[in-house]
Copies of this chain bind each other. A is one copy, B any other.
Amino acid sequence: MVEKHHAILTKAVQALHARTFYAAFPEHPAPAVYGETADADGQARFKSWLGKKFDELHQPNPEKWAGQEESPYLQEPLGVAYPLFSVDTLVQRSEAAFHQWRKVSVDDRAEILLESLERVKKRFFEIAYATMHTTGQGYMMAFQASGPHAADRALEAIAAGYEELNRFPAQALWDKPMGKFNIQLNKEWRAVPKGISVVIGCSTFPTWNSVTGVYGSLITGNSVIVKPHPGAILPVAIFVAEIQHVLVEKKLDPAICQLAVDTFDQMITQPLAEHPNVKLIDFTGNSTFGSYLEALPGKVVFTEKTGVNSVILDSVEDIDKVAANLAFSVNLYSGQMCTAPQNFYVPRAGVKTPAGQVSFEEFAEKFVAQLNSLIDNPKAGPFVLGAVQNKKTCDRVIEAEKLPGKVWLKSRTFENPMFPKARVATPVVVEIDSSKKDVFSRELFGPIVLLIKTKDSEESLALAQEMAMHHGAISCGAYTTDAMLREKIADTMALAATPVSFNLTGGIYMNQNAAFSDFHVTGGNPSGNASFTNPEYVTKRFTWVGHREPVKG
């Protein structure tokens, strides 16, 4: 491995164990010197793909070229065409490539994967624009989430895999004293990859949610087929292309990592997942399909499905700061993050503050005011909210106004000065009584907030736990100044395998999940069985097999 990559890998392994990234990489968040023209160049490069074939992939002889991506900002097709292949072709090529890749040493695999990340780094702006115009994310989020933050999670998976693969010795002498003599065996252990890995992407975070699985499977020696959502292909296509470029330079089969594009009218996800040669599946998406995948026999499946994320409001230092923080969390990418809060549990007696009780109604008013203030700020609103990826989300938001309770805020549209045709929807806020459990026992994807009026914080916590245990949860926000209650929330939500962000105010939000620090999805509740990136996330991608033979006398 070249020295530069070895140094990065060593630091990454340290960060993995310290659970903090910036101690190991202090230089990372400093304004990266991407170059003064990087943004403009990236945008130009993105635009150069529009209406063209994405011809960077080393995947010859496609059956046809197609692509159905549309920009949520322009509400018109991107016109990028990708090579399409039959499931059989993809699997045959992957199978052949697997037997080459599994014999590449762990160090060489790491070297190749780290080099691909170096190259992707030069395309962060291109990826950012590709992400904006497929997912509807605002520019800053599109840059960070699809670029550096996705690359961090990929690096985390490489580091985790590298460490697990080196956890046990390749050989050992087993020397058993038997009294008069010793029995001596030479033993050796091989980390045997599972085979073909299929990574199924989602429409909202096409790289962040997928590259961990891609790099996790590759470092452990599996060949990978990346099956992006038909609505968000280009961002991850660039990652795949860069991996393939490095593979080709190293004289390896580029089919070690293939892109498997399909179209809405002819989806290949199911036949691909069910193919007997496919052994590993990574999936981000809806619960129905995720649960179907989890139940497929003979596969190792990693899912991130849906959840019902809660906010528990008990007592606060500064109610306005809290309302502002939560309003940002809800507005951010118009509530289209898997970590966005939905169920706000507020005691009917209100929220305790140093200045006295803030009533339920006062909190609702403050929260709505903060939402509006951000939406109506032309310098912030359009960039924070972005656009809505899927029209169905807009329908759902409108539908939410009919929920049985007072509508504190109706969804509306706003002017995006750069993209007048953008598909937008601001949050809807509805008050629901805690007795109406059926209303809030499911994910309402999009900018939908339910202010659930509870008897007290005990009930709030019980409901938050119950929702997480039975319907899944990926995040939870809790506000309390009571140390006893804080520990009770920490313990109760931990039993529901839900990470809690306590008392967040200012520039940090419950939706944000940091590589090398926050395990993303814990695998312990119905929101998914995978966790970025705990040891299981990589150890399940290979099998330890030990052979032995007597030492020759």
Residues of A at under 8 Å CB distance from B?
17-23, 26, 29-31, 164, 167-169, 172-179, 183, 185, 187-190, 192, 194, 295, 297, 490, 493-495, 497-508, 514, 517-519, 522-524, 531, 534-536, 539-540, 543-550
Report Cα–Cα, A490/B103, bound state, in Å: 13
Q: Is the beta-carbon distance between B517 and A19 smaller than 8 angstroms?
A: no
Report Cα–Cα, A174/B501, bound state, in Å: 13
A-B contact pairs, 5 of them (CB 8 A): A17-B169, A31-B179, A176-B514, A505-B550, A536-B536
Q: Is the beta-carbon distance between B531 and A544 smaller than 8 angstroms?
A: yes
A30, closest chain B residue (CB): B177
Contact (A192, B497) CB under 8 Å given A174-B514, A534-B539, A539-B539: yes
Q: Is the beta-carbon distance between A190 and B494 smaller than 8 angstroms?
A: yes
Which of chain B's residues have a CB closer than 8 A to the CB of A498? 545
Give the residue of B18, B295, B518, B548 whose beta carbon is less than 8 angstroms from that of A502: B548
Report Cα–Cα, A417/B113, bound state, in Å: 66
Q: Is the beta-carbon distance between B173 and A547 smaller than 8 angstroms?
A: no
Report Cα–Cα, A20/B189, bound state, in Å: 12
Give the residue of B18, B183, B499, B550 whose beta carbon is less than 8 angstroms from that of A545: B499
Q: What is the count of identical protomers in the complex? A: 2
Q: Is the beta-carbon distance between A175 and B20 smaller than 8 angstroms?
A: yes
Q: Is the beta-carbon distance between A506 and B545 smaller than 8 angstroms?
A: no
Q: Is the beta-carbon distance between B545 and A497 smaller than 8 angstroms?
A: yes
A186, closest chain B residue (CB): B502
Which of chain B's residues have a CB closer than 8 A to the CB of A177? 22, 26, 29-30
Q: Is the beta-carbon distance between B173 and A20 smaller than 8 angstroms?
A: yes
Which of chain B's residues have a CB closer than 8 A to the CB of A495? 192
Q: Is the beta-carbon distance between B17 and A494 smaller than 8 angstroms?
A: no
Report Cα–Cα, A539/B536, bound state, in Å: 7
What's the minimum C-beta distance from A50 to chain B, rounded to whole angstroms?
34
What's the minimum C-beta distance from A198 to chain B, rounded to whole angstroms?
18
Q: Is the beta-carbon distance between B183 and A19 smaller than 8 angstroms?
A: no
Contact (A547, B174) CB under 8 Å given A18-B169, A192-B494: no
Q: Is the beta-carbon distance between B535 and A167 smaller than 8 angstroms?
A: yes
Q: Is the beta-carbon distance between B29 and A547 smaller than 8 angstroms?
A: no
Q: Is the beta-carbon distance between A19 and B497 smaller than 8 angstroms?
A: no
What's the minimum C-beta distance from A379 to chain B, rounded to whole angstroms?
19
Contact (A499, B546) CB under 8 Å given A164-B535, A169-B18, A524-B192: yes
Q: Is the beta-carbon distance between B499 and A547 smaller than 8 angstroms?
A: yes
Report Cα–Cα, A539/B192, bound state, in Å: 19
Report Cα–Cα, A30/B177, bound state, in Å: 8
Q: Is the beta-carbon distance between A548 and B501 smaller than 8 angstroms?
A: yes
Report Cα–Cα, A531/B168, bound state, in Å: 15
Which of chain B's residues have a CB closer than 8 A to the CB of A19? 168-169, 172, 174, 187, 189, 546
